[in-house]
Chain A
Amino acid sequence: MSTSFYLQLLIAGISVGSVYALVALAIVIPFKASGVLNFGQGELATVGAYAALVMIEAGLPYPLVAILVIGVGGLAGMAIERLLIRPIAGAPAFTLVIATFAIGLAIKSAISIHWGDTPHSISGPFGDDPLTLGTLRINPTSLWIVFCTVLVTLLLTGFFRYVRAGKAMRAVALNAEAASLMGIRINGVYRWAWAISAAIGALAGLLVAPVVGVNPEIGQLILRGLVAAVIGGFTSIIGAVVGGISVGLLETFAGVWVGGAMKNLTPFLVLLVLLAFRPQGLFGSREVYRV
C-alpha cells in the first residue's frame, strides 16, 4: 500500500470527519446555550439536502443555493425552538430527548412521504471529476467540504469571541440566571443558538449530498455527530471539530483495516466504551456521574 493510498484515505477521513464536525457543532451549540440536546439534528441536514435539491432543480446557481439553504436551516431552527422546544423547556431530560427525537422522525417521515424512495442526486459545486495532484486523485467536493468546515469554525470562533450576540450566548451558557439579571434576553439567545445550529446542520446536508446522494437517511449523520460531540466533551468548538475529525478518520481507517461491518460498528463501540469509562470525552470535565 503506497503512501499516496494512505494520503487519499487521510483526505477522505478528514473530509467525512468534517461533516461530522459540523453536525457535532450543530449539536453542541444549543446544548451549551439551552441545555437541550437535539436528537433531531440529523434531520436538519436532510432538510438542507432536500432544500438544495429543490433549488437546484429549479435552476438556481450553487452559490445562491448555498446561502438560501443556510437561511432555510436558520428559519427551521427558529421555528422549532419557538413552537416545539420552548413550551417544554422546563421539562426533565427524558421529555426533551424523546421530543427532539420525535421532531426528527416527523421531519424524516414527512420528507419520505413527499419524495418517496426514488434516489435523487445533486452534483458538487466543482463537478464530480476527481482532481489529479501528482499520484493523488482527490474528489474536489472533499476539499470543498473541508474548506467550508474550516470557514465555519473560524466564523463561529470569531462570533463567540467578538460579536455581542455570541458573547451573550457564552454568558447564558455559563450562567443563565446571572446573564438574564444582566439584561441579556435569554429567549433571544436560545432562538439564535437554535437558528445557528440548524443552519450549520442544513449546510452539512448540502455539503454531504453530492457524496451520498439525496435521501431521507442522511439524518443518520447525527449518530456520528453525537459520537464526535461526546469525544469533544460537549464543551467547545475545538472539541467538536477534533471529535468529528477523529470519528471520520477512525471510521475510514477501520473500514480499510478491519472490513465493512466494523466500519459501521466502530463509532458506536467507541461511543459505548467512552460513555462507560470516560463520558466527559477528551475535553470535558468530570461532572457526569450520579450516585
Chain B
Amino acid sequence: MFDTALRPVHILYGTGALLVLLAGTTLGSYPSYLISLALINVIAAVGLNLLVGNSGQISLCHSSFMAIGAYGSSMLTAMFGLPFWLSIPCAALGAAAVGALLGMPARRLSGIYLALATLAFLQIVQIAIEESADFTGGVRGLDVPKAFFWPSVPVGPRSLFFVVAGACALSIWSAANLLKSKLGREINAARLSPHAAQALGVSVARVKLTAFALSAAYAGLAGGLLSLVVGFVEPNEFGISAALRQLTFIVVGGMGSLAGSVLGALALSGLPELLRSAKEYSDLASALILLASLLFMPRGLVTLWQHLTVRTVHPVARPNRSPAK
C-alpha cells in the first residue's frame, strides 16, 4: 500500500554512504577535508533543490543564508561561548527566519523579478558583511573559534568529519521525508498548477514561504558547518560565484530530484577545491559546466541514472517545466 523505494536502491545508497565514511576516516587529513566540503555542499544543494526544483522559485541568494549560518554560529560561539551543537542550529534557525522574511514578498514574484529580488538580497548581505568589520572582520574575514563539544572538550578532526557526515545524512533523510510527505506533495503541486492546488485547499502562498524558510535552514546549517571545517569565513565565500556554483550542482544533478542534487554536489565538489588556488579557473569551469549542462543535458545526470534503473519511484521535476511563470 505504501509506495516505498526499491530495495536495491537502498542498498546502493547504503554502500555509497559507507564508502564515503571509509574514505573520510582513512585517507588522511586533506582528502577528509575535501570530502567534508563535498558533504557540506550536499547539504546546501539539498536545500536549494527544495526551493528551486520542487517549489519552483528562482533563488540567487542561497549563499547568503549560508553566510548567516557561518557568521552567525561563529559569533554565537565567540560572544556567548556556545558549543557548536547549539550555535549552529541557532544560526540555522536564524537563517530560516530571515528566509521567511525574504520569502514573504518573494513568493508573490515570478521569474526574473524573483531572481532580481534574490540578487538584491545577496548584494545587501555581502555589503552588510563587508561594512560591519567590527563584527564580521569585513573583507579580510574572520577566524572561527575552534569547535568544542563542551568548554574543555575540543572537537578533533575525525570527530568533526563525523559531525559533518551525520549532519549530511540527517539533511538528506529529512528532505526525503519532506518530499514524500503531504507538505512535499503540496510544494510540488503549487509549482505544477497553482490553480488546481488552491482549488484543492493548498495555500500556495504559505507553501512557497515554507519552502523558502526550509531551504534557508539547510543553507544555514551548511554555512555553520563550513565555518568549522575551514576555520575561517570571508564574504567572498558567499557571493555570486558560490550561488552560481550551488545552482550548477542541482542543474547538473537534475532539478527537483533529491538524488540528483546529492549526485551533482558530490560529483562537482572536487573541482572548486582542486582549483581553489585560482578562483578564476574555478569560476570559469563552473560557468562552462553549467552552460554545457543546460545546452546538452537539461534534465541532469539523474535521468541518465534513471534510464539504467528500471522504475522511477519518485517523479522527478523536469527542468523544462516552467519552475516559475
Give the interface of A toward B (CB within 8 A). 37, 39, 84, 87-88, 91-95, 97-99, 101-103, 105-106, 108-110, 112-113, 223, 226-227, 230, 260-261, 264-265, 268-269, 271-272, 275-277, 279, 288-291
Contacts and interface: CB of A to CB of B under 8 A. Distances in A.
Interface string B267-294: 0000000000010110110111011001
Nearest to A220: B123
A105 B287 contact: yes
Nearest to A270: B120
Majority secondary structure, A binding face: helix
B290 A271 contact: no
Contact of A108 (B110, B127, B283): B283
B58 A94 contact: yes
Contact of A291 (B112, B205, B280): B205
Interface in B110-139: 110-113, 115-117, 119-121, 123-124, 127-128, 131
Contacts of B247: 98
B177 interface: no
B321 interface: yes
Contact of B120 (A98, A271, A288): A271
Interface residues of B, number: 52
B109 A288 contact: yes
Contacts of B127: 261, 264-265, 268
Instruction: Give the 4 A-B residue pairs with the shortest CB-CB distance, closest first.
Output: A93-B111, A276-B105, A106-B287, A109-B284
Contact of B121 (A93, A113, A272): A272
B295 interface: yes
Contact of B283 (A105, A230, A275): A105
Contact of A93 (B60, B112, B123): B112
Interface in B243-261: 244, 247, 251
Given A92-B319, A113-B284, A289-B108, 18 more contacts: A91-B320, A92-B320, A93-B112, A94-B319, A94-B323, A98-B244, A99-B294, A102-B244, A109-B283, A226-B119, A265-B128, A268-B127, A269-B120, A272-B120, A290-B110, A291-B108, A291-B194, A291-B198
